[in-house]
Amino acid sequence: MNEHIFTGRVAILGLGYIGLPTAAALATRGVEVVGVDVNAATVAAVSRGEVPFVEPDLAAAVSGAVAMGRLTASSEVPHADAYIVAVPTPFNDDHSADLRYVRSAVESIAPHLRGGEVVILESTSPPGTTEGVSRWLAELRPDLVLPHSSEGVPDVYVAHCPERVLPGKIMIEMVTNDRVVGGVTPRCAQQAAAVYRVFSQGEIVESDAASAEMAKLVENAYRDVNIAFANELSLISEDLELDVWEVIRLANHHPRVNVLTPGPGVGGHCIAVDPWFIVGAAPERSRLIRTAREVNDLKPHHVAEQVAAKSERFRNPTIACLGLAYKANIDDLRESPAVEIVAAIAELLPQTDVRVAEPMVHELPAELAAYPNVKLDGAADAIAASDIVVLLVDHDHFKALSRSRLAGKVVYDTRGFWR
């Protein structure tokens, strides 16, 4: 196989947690990159060499790439030799995939195509979405459909390359992790792989588009099922008045057992969303995956109810909730169970003062700002004023707090942080 490395201009649609790091990774290795985003504030920030969210090592990469003139940002899609689509793919109320942002991105790319470009979908999608992108391009640009193509294949190399990085380590894992590149045709996979070969040190595995799409969903469904097992154990242990972390510690001494750590639920843009795409694709066959999602989705409500029960011993309690992010040491609140828990507590106890400490953000998200009894506070002040302390996120910032601050407080630790 000809393992060539891409040269040319790349346009990346979506400058979020994946698009911007990808843009920086390409630009710092000499590729001309134009980042495109519908958010004017994001475009302005990147144009100044700034990063609109927290991610270690990203700020230096972006500022350096912008200073070198390799990375620019725009609200308009330019002509490019390769396009990477990194837009959101949320789910609808029925848990089916909402592909409107993907469709919009394709529609914005189509007028600029001349033939021979690479179009890569990075957004996590149900199997068949990348094939759909190819069909959309053929419909939008019939002049680019290859002659003698019975299926209306456009003269564009369409592929899927799902991201598989961990927030907080994106700039490291983007370079070192293996990548799966699935093409609508084998040639499409080869051309797309050349783009990632610019910066990737991991193995680039080529396959078909639908298999690549499914592989990403399987990765996150696998993790979701294992987390659900741990979370269900925590519920059972609670009923049996057992310390779930001690039970798991003992079980994990078996050489072939590795039970994960329970928590208040599952959040983020991947594990909390992707398994539903499998359920939507095969609802009658995905009973375990669906149940795991339901177990994890119900955990925040259970936590809120437990906190409400603990508050009954106080006349006018103050509750400190530590953390809003969906995981430790990042500022990403997407699908965060902590946000859901605080909202549920505020609704269950509307007369209760709820103090929220989240060192990674400067203001409450809109869904919490709507509650008059919820306010953002520093961790030390929130704990000092509280009767009940609820640990929701295991930020390093909270580890640095003296345990003596918890003296006399009712502590509900959802992370096993202060065992």
Could you give the residue numbers annotated as active site?
216, 270
Query: What's the angle, vertex CA 206, arms to CA 128 and CA 57, rounded to 5?
Result: 95
The DSSP secondary structure of 43-88, one letter per residue, reads: HHHHHTT--SS--TTHHHHHHHHHHTTSEEEESS----SEEEE---
What's the order of all strands across the beta sheet hosting 388-391? 374-376, 353-357, 318-322, 388-391, 410-413
Asked if 46 and 71 touch (Cβ cutoff 8 Å), the reply is yes
Asked if 274 and 164 touch (Cβ cutoff 8 Å), the reply is no
Tokens matching residue 260: 């994960």
Q: Which residues on neighbouring strands pair with residue 119, listed in sequence order?
A: 83, 158
> How far apart are the C-alpha atoms of 318 and 346, rounded to whole Å?
11
> How far apart are the C-alpha atoms of 300 and 319, rounded to whole Å?
16
Beta strand extents in 337-408 (DSSP E only): 353-357, 374-376, 388-391
Backbone angles phi, psi at 321, to 5 degrees: -110, 115
Q: Is 42 helix (H, G, I), strand (E, B) or coil?
A: helix
Tokens matching residue 306: 């437990």
Write the CA distances from 391 to 54, 222, 322, 382, 416, integer angstroms.
21, 26, 5, 12, 9
Tokens matching residue 132: 């759909």
> How far apart are the C-alpha atoms of 41 and 364, rounded to whole Å?
19
**What is the rounded radius of gyration, in angstroms, for the C-alpha atoms of the chain?**
23
